[in-house]
Amino acid sequence: MAGVEGKVIAITGASSGIGRAAALLLAGRGATVVLGARRIDELEAVVRDIERAGGIASHRRTDVAKREDVAALTALASDRHGKLDVLISNAGIGPISKLDELRVEDWEAMVDINVKGLLYGIAAALPIFRRQGFGHFVNTISTAGIQMSPTMAVYAATKNAVRTLSEGLRLESDGKYRVTGISPGFVGTNFAESMTHPGVRAAIQKQMDEIALEPEAIARAMAFAIEQPDDVDVGDIVVRPTVQG
């Protein structure tokens, strides 16, 4: 089934930034979107925006660090709409710092959300996709996993774990589902808010203010992968500002 119209798409991290942009764009192109995020007020606002524009959306508060939350989000999509065409695993955090600062709690949080959150999505959606005989994983990665920078060792490691898991999924798919990894560069989101180191947060925010893309650029890349015919698997897309080093 080519195109976006008529597809049921679940999105984590959908209350702001890339997730919100993807929800608005895909719903605008005729998809039914099922949205998850921790911030319920912002999530409800996204649903209202979609519905006012004539789209179809529902939501559930979702903390991807909790397996039961991710399972409930995919079940909401499948039970209410009879199928799940796409799971966009977009939720992520980046409380980056140098390793010698030993911010172990920040490391654990990145592993819980960026890696385990993705695995919980796989565990929830894979049985649905196998049962249906079709489906599509779209995983938000990062250019941080392509070009290393100081302070980003743990964050980049979690994102490269996502890259590896995505390729493993693809190799095991047997043609029954598709897998796409999207690696954004600097994007104008609230990503810096997750950073606990004040100096690092200020430096990253300054770079974002100077060169960041709008989140819609990443949403369009997601839509491109999703709208391809079922026998076309778009594996990896890197989207970054032209001036990003």
Residue 2 lies in a domain: no
* Residue 210 scores a pLDDT above 90: no
* Residue 46 scores a pLDDT above 80: yes
CATH number (domain holding residue 179): 3.40.50.720
DSSP strands (E only) in the chain = 8-12, 32-37, 56-61, 86-89, 136-140, 178-184, 236-239
120 carries an active-site annotation = no
pLDDT digits (tens, 9 = 90+) for 123-147: 999 999 999 999 999 999 999 989 8
* Residue 201 scores a pLDDT above 80: no
What is the rounded average pLDDT of the residues 236-244?
A: 94
Q: What is the pLDDT of residue 1?
A: 65
The residues, any chain, with a CB within 8 Å of residue 217's CB and separated by 6 or more, are: 187, 239
Query: By three-state DSSP, how is residue 179 classified?
Result: strand
Residue with tokens 């996502």: 162
Q: Binning pLDDT at 50, 70 and 90, where does residue 10 land?
A: very high
Residue 137 lies in a domain: yes
Q: Indicate the angle between helix axes 17-28 and 215-226, nearest 10 degrees.
A: 50
Q: Are 21 and 219 in contact (CB under 8 A)?
A: yes
Q: Are 225 and 237 in contact (CB under 8 A)?
A: yes
What is the rounded average pLDDT of the residues 5-22?
A: 97
Q: Binning pLDDT at 50, 70 and 90, where does residue 207 land?
A: confident
Residue 147 lies in a domain: yes
6-20, 32-46, 179-193, 225-239: which has the minimum mean pLDDT? 179-193
pLDDT digits (tens, 9 = 90+) for 150-177: 899 999 999 999 999 999 999 999 999 9
From CA 8, how far away is CA 75, in angstroms rounded? 12
Q: Give percent above pLDDT 70 in the chain.
A: 100
pLDDT digits (tens, 9 = 90+) for 60-89: 999 999 999 999 999 999 999 999 999 999
Residue 1 lies in a domain: no
Determine the structural domain holding residue 129 and report its residue range.
8-239
Residue 3 lies in a domain: no
For the chain, how many structural domains are there in total? 1
Residue 245 lies in a domain: no
Q: What is the pLDDT of residue 148?
A: 85
Q: What is the pLDDT of residue 91?
A: 97
From CA 9, how far away is CA 84, in angstroms rounded? 6
Residue 114 lies in a domain: yes
Q: Which residue has the higher pLDDT, 199 or 147?
A: 147
Q: Indicate the angle between helix axes 67-81 and 117-132, nearest 10 degrees.
A: 30
Of 155, 177, 186, 191, which is the active-site residue?
Answer: 155
